[in-house]
Amino acid sequence: MISELAIATYTQQSHIAFVSAQGLAIISIILLCVAPFLPRPMRSFQYGIDAFLSVCLLSVFILRSLASEFFALTNMFESLLAVALGVVICRYILEPRIRIQSFHVLSMGLVLVALGFATTLPSEIAILQPALMSYWRAIHVPIIMLSYALLFMASIAGVLMIIKRGSSPPLQRERIGERGFSQLDQETDCPLTQLADRAVYLAVPTLAIGTALGAVWANEAWGTYWNWDPKENMALATLFVYGAYMHMRLNTQIKPQSLAWLLVIGFAVVMLTYIGINLLGVGLHSYGNFMMS
Amino acid sequence: MNATTNTPYTKRLWAPWKRLGQYFLSLISSMEMGVLLLIFIAISCIAGSLLPQIQLVDTGAIQRQFGDAYPYLNAMGLFDLFYSPWFIALEVLFFFSICIGSFRWLRPAWLSITQKTLMDARHIRATSRHHVIDVASSVPPPEILATMKMALEQQGFDVTGSNKKHPWSLYATKGRLGRVGPMITHVGIALVMLAVFWGAFTSFTAQHLAKPGETFAVSESETFATSTKPPFWFGSIPDYRVQIDRFDIDFQLKAPMVPKQFTTHLSLIDTVTGETLKKGVTSVNNPFRYKGLTFYQANFSPTTLHTLTINGVPQRVDANQTLAGRPFAIHPLNETTRLFIFPLGRFTDGLQVNRVEILQEKNGKLLGFDKGFSVKNKNVLGLTEGADAQAFAGQKIGYTQAVMSTGLQMKYAPETWFLYVSLIVLALGCVMSAIPHYQVWLALGNELNTFNSPPNSVAVYSKAKKHPKRLARQLERVLDKLPTPAYKHHGSTEIGPTT
């Protein structure tokens, strides 16, 4: 049993880490905005800030978990932090060299919005319902949050594709382009399309696996693997919308830019799944509400 | 003779139906139909999440919310959307679309990874993501092919030689798991749907709120439901009885009134012999299983049973009678005195603790009753659950606990193992689908009867499923290995039959 003093210390430290993360996110987005005017060595400073931001967000989870004595991913506040952490890390997986600056700026904007929204929510460590006291929570919830982060980034790429439609410069001829490989399939080779595809191809399996694991947990806890609960329905809707995107990408008659709208619709569906359904406060997942259980 | 004359007639008779069947098969298995079904089901799921469903919300509340529009929306099945005939029809269509479509769309994929066929020019031309490079070199083409074979193998490609059926000199492939991934995913989805289908005809669920000490048969539970009705339902119902031995609630240390875990100890009793078949424990997230039947700890509820201590000896009383509209229990102390115990519930004075008020009846007169149930009255003893025992009616009386009944959910679902296997297949397919698959075809110019390529050249055709640039870079490294290379790029428009 952890002492009251230790709980207070961990809670205070997690708050400091959270505030630091907010500050670092602001610095990161400013650096990204002014990056074209900075000398090249200064740009690498960006990686350091983002790494430190990730460490701060991770620290919040670790400290809150130490204070609560369980894996602290239990309410909307913590899930927003998880999505923010997912976006900070995954944008480097999707676009490690920061060549599409606007994508990184919007992604960091999303992180800022998530952290800002989190400040408006109760941050007290929740008291868990018995159903949530399971190792499955530490598996199912992070996987779903990771998929949401990836889908948000796919949507950002979709928005940028719509904005840049018509105004996009000719494809840069890189070394591989000199021999003609990149001259073909210009639509496919468009960096934003590739980015969106990569995000969706990673997110959909992640979401599918997360949902499947959720079904297994539901069967252990509630005695039913699928209950047509609003959250479950929306998870299925999200999977099917992005499944439709993946299948439509196979049709070469459809330009990827046209499918950018589907990514934007997908964003609305993910938002409805992640936040909107919680407002209804019904169903088996209603403890994921804005207020703590 | 009759047979020979009838056959053409039968064929003619069946021909339009056959064409119609082929048309429907083609329609249902088309990619367009698949995408449409995905979108329709997604929209239905969103509608079913936003509109109140009768499983979650009281029908009266839905009627009040939608007023005059309720009958029309209800007739459309929008308040029981996921069990409505049209949604079930969508699911069935989706199942057939995925089963038939998978065979049609993914057969070429399977054949391409097994390298047996479909490497002809027609197949390549049908795919739009290809790159054509003519490698004109002073070096003899066979030598170029040998160098490229080695270079491709260094890049991790699996290279095979020429096939008599096809004009290609070399065929190289990489990431076959990625190619087969969508197939596995589709199979996984179909298996999951089959598992659910199987469950609909064999499974049942039952809920029962039972007091400790109570015995009941599963089929006599408060709610007992099968997905389909007999004769379509062919599951089995256990013939043993369930006995609740004990029920415990463990409360949170940081919030003493919030349950942390609740646990039921139960025994399964043979109906005929009365023998205990098995003893078990079930708690939230830790179900107890016996021969296909799973016992889940679902909830709990207060009962009329209360445990008191009288001079340190536990006594269980049952508040199953009412006096002035309030439940109470009687516990005799001696020949002239009886205790009347009135439970007050869990929310007295804003505290989430159980309380009882106890009055004594002496020689047939209930003392303190005329004054109401005021604890200030010296004839009324107010006791809080778990508090110290107090002197009353010449005894030391304490209130140990309000006995809770356990809410059990029982489920017989023989399809569960099959569902889990299906989910594993689905997850595996999803992971495999993320692996990029590359195909490269190398051909000598004079072998290309169907393409416009110079005769003294080697053509490189490639196709990438995901990450085409990565494949381009890898091919670039392969081409770098060639001696004295001279490249001439042919765009996609140049691909086409010479005829």
Q: What is the pLDDT of residues B305-321, one digit of tens each?
A: 888 999 889 888 888 88
d(Cα B314, Cα A86) in Å, to the nearest integer? Answer: 56
> Do residue A223 and residue B205 have CB atoms under 8 angstroms apart?
yes
> Do residue A226 and residue B196 have CB atoms under 8 angstroms apart?
yes
Contact present, B378 and B390 (Cβ < 8 Å)? no
Among candidate residues A278, A270, A282, A283, the one with its CA nearest the CA of residue A234: A270
> Do residue B472 and residue A182 have CB atoms under 8 angstroms apart?
yes
The mean predicted confidence, pLDDT, of chain A is 84
More confident residue, B120 or A5: A5
d(Cα A153, Cα A92) in Å, to the nearest integer? Answer: 11
SS3 sequence of B65-101 = HHHHHHHHHHHCCCCCHHHCHHHHHHHHHHHHHHHHH
Determine the longest span between alpha carbons in chain A, in angstroms. 67
CA-CA-CA-CA dihedral for B324, B325, B331, B335, to nearest 10: 30
Q: Can you say how many angstroms the Cα of residue A32 is from the centroid of all Cα atoms in its chain?
A: 19
Q: What is the pLDDT of residue A205?
A: 92
Q: What is the pLDDT of residues B124-154, one digit of tens each?
A: 555 544 555 566 656 676 777 788 888 889 8
DSSP annotation of A225: S
pLDDT above 90 covers a percentage of chain B that reads: 23
d(Cα B362, Cα B336) in Å, to the nearest integer? Answer: 6
Q: What separation, in Å, do the N-terminal and C-terminal C-alpha atoms of chain A show?
A: 22
Residues 6+ apart with CB under 8 A from A266: A151, A154, A155, A158, A238, A241, A242, A245
Query: Across residues A236-254, what is the average pLDDT?
Result: 89
Q: What is the pLDDT of residues A134-146, one digit of tens each?
A: 899 999 999 999 9
Q: Do you know the residue count of chain A? A: 293
DSSP annotation of A247: H
> Do residue B42 and residue A241 have CB atoms under 8 angstroms apart?
yes
Q: Is the pLDDT of residue B402 over 50?
A: yes
Query: Which of A147, A176, A186, A269 would you mutate first to test chain B, the one with the most B CBs within 10 A?
Result: A176
- The CA-based angle B433-B95-A274, given to 5 degrees, is 60
> Do residue A209 and residue B39 have CB atoms under 8 angstroms apart?
no
Angle between helices A230-250 and B31-50 (to 10 degrees): 160
Among candidate residues B434, B443, B422, the one with its CA nearest the CA of residue B467: B434
Q: What is the pLDDT of residues B331-380, one digit of tens each?
A: 988 888 899 888 876 654 445 567 888 888 888 887 877 655 555 667 88
Q: What is the pLDDT of residue A250?
A: 79
**d(CA A285, nearest CA chain B) in Å:** 12
Query: Which of B40, B49, B227 would you mutate first to test chain A, the one with the most A CBs within 10 A?
Result: B49
Q: Pull the structure tokens for residue A94.
A: 């999707």
> What fold is seen in the domain B116-175+436-490?
TATA-Binding Protein (3.30.310)
Picking from A130, A180, A216, the nearest residue to B423 by CB comes out as: A216
Picking from A179, A221, A234, the nearest residue to B284 by CB comes out as: A221
- Other CB atoms within a 10 A radius of the CB of residue B153 amount to 13
Q: Is the pLDDT of residue A216 over 70?
A: yes
Burial class from Cβ neighbours inside 10 Å (0-12, 13-18, 19+) for residue A50 reads buried
Q: Pull the structure tokens for residue A211.
A: 């949902």
> Do residue B285 and residue A181 have CB atoms under 8 angstroms apart?
no
Query: Which of B30, B46, B55, B132 would you mutate first to test chain A, the one with the most A CBs within 10 A?
Result: B46
Binding-face residues of A in 167-226 toward B, CB within 8 A: 175-176, 179-185, 188-189, 194, 197-198, 201-202, 204-205, 208-209, 212, 215-216, 219-226
Among candidate residues B363, B390, B364, B387, the one with its CA nearest the CA of residue B378: B390
A279 touches chain B (CB under 8 A): no
Among candidate residues A207, A95, A90, A99, the one with its CA nearest the CA of residue A147: A207
**d(CA B283, nearest CA chain A) in Å:** 9
A261 touches chain B (CB under 8 A): no
pTM as predicted? 0.82
Give A22's Cβ-side CA count (13 Å radius).
13
pLDDT above 90 covers a percentage of chain A that reads: 48
B287 CB neighbours in chain A (<8 A) are 220, 223
Query: Across residues B438-465, what is the average pLDDT?
Result: 67
d(Cα A107, Cα B146) in Å, to the nearest integer? Answer: 47
> Do residue B205 and residue A224 have CB atoms under 8 angstroms apart?
yes
**d(CA B272, nearest CA chain A) in Å:** 29
d(Cα B318, Cα B356) in Å, to the nearest integer? Answer: 12
Q: What is the pLDDT of residues A177-212, one digit of tens each?
A: 334 443 344 445 578 888 898 899 999 999 999 999
**d(CA A6, nearest CA chain B) in Å:** 14
Q: Is the pLDDT of residue B493 over 80?
A: no
A252 CB neighbours in chain B (<8 A) are 128-129
Q: Is the pLDDT of residue B51 over 80?
A: yes
Q: What is the pLDDT of residues B460-480, one digit of tens each?
A: 777 777 777 788 788 878 877
Q: What is the pLDDT of residue B483?
A: 65
> Do residue A201 and residue B38 have CB atoms under 8 angstroms apart?
no
Q: What is the pLDDT of residue B269?
A: 94
- Identify residue B334 by its one-letter amino acid code: N
Task: Using pLDDT thresholds of 50, 70 and 90, give the confidence band for residue B492.
Answer: very low
Judging by DSSP bridges, how do beta strands B158-160 and B326-332 pair with one another? unpaired
Left (φ > 0), alpha (ψ -120 to 50) or beta: where does A172 sit? Answer: beta
The top-scoring range by mean pLDDT among B172-186, B304-318, B419-433 is B419-433
Contact present, B395 and B333 (Cβ < 8 Å)? yes
Among candidate residues A240, A179, A246, the one with its CA nearest the CA of residue A207: A240
Q: What is the pLDDT of residues B238-296, one digit of tens each?
A: 889 999 998 888 877 666 667 788 899 999 999 989 899 999 999 988 999 998 899 99
Size of interface A-B (CB pairs under 8 A): 169
> Do residue A205 and residue B261 have CB atoms under 8 angstroms apart?
no
ipTM of the complex: 0.87
Query: Across residues A162-174, what is the average pLDDT?
Result: 56
Q: Is the pLDDT of residue B488 over 90?
A: no
Picking from A127, A240, A269, the nearest residue to B254 by CB comes out as: A127
Q: Is the pLDDT of residue B115 over 80?
A: no
A231 CB neighbours in chain B (<8 A) are 49
> Do residue B430 and residue A204 have CB atoms under 8 angstroms apart?
yes
- The CA-based angle B110-B112-B113, given to 5 degrees, is 70
Chain A residue with minimum CA distance to B192:
A212
Q: Do you know the residue count of chain B? A: 499
B258 CB neighbours in chain A (<8 A) are 127
d(Cα B1, Cα B463) in Å, to the nearest integer? Answer: 56
**d(CA B466, nearest CA chain A) in Å:** 8
Q: What is the pLDDT of residues A28-84, one digit of tens each?
A: 999 989 888 887 777 778 889 999 999 999 999 999 999 988 888 888 899 999 999
Q: Is the pLDDT of residue B449 over 60?
A: no
The top-scoring range by mean pLDDT among B84-88, B145-149, B150-154, B170-174 is B84-88
> Do residue B49 and residue A127 have CB atoms under 8 angstroms apart?
no
The top-scoring range by mean pLDDT among A43-47, B17-21, B457-461 is B17-21
> Do residue A223 and residue B296 have CB atoms under 8 angstroms apart?
yes
Contact present, B205 and A223 (Cβ < 8 Å)? yes
